[in-house]
Amino acid sequence: MTEDNQQIIDILNEIIEAQAIEPKTAEKIEQWFETQREKEVAEVTTVIPLSDTQRASLGHKLSEIFNRPLKIDNRIDEKILGGMKIKVGSQVIDATLLNKIGQLKSWMHEQIEQLSS
């Protein structure tokens, strides 16, 4: 969530505490901001931080793919081993080494089962 959106949510919470707005109304507004955040941010998980050049290039490419401007939120997770995972709203592109190893493991289990039958 952007800093501006968080400030607006904080203001709404103060208004709720002052009983100047119904909690349900504030909740709807907060959900709207969350929806807007999903439309604006691409969560990109990598093992090491993206360089400014990589961030700009990836942001440009993802904006073309998703047909809207996207900001890159680079998250670091060494558990993925390599590659990257991209999440835009509810869509996920998992090109991590951890995912590829999992796919290979599943395939190997299937092959072993077929040989055993």
Tell me, what's the pLDDT at 4? 62
Among residues 32, 51, 44, which one has the least CA distance to residue 70? Answer: 44
Domain residue limits at 13: 3-116
* Mean pLDDT per 10-residue segment, the chain (117 residues): 66 75 77 68 96 95 90 95 93 96 95 89
Tell me, what's the pLDDT at 30? 75
Tell me, what's the pLDDT at 2? 55
Tell me, what's the pLDDT at 5? 63
Vertex 73: Cα angle to 2 and 83 (nearest 5): 165
Q: How many independent structural domains does the chain possess?
A: 1
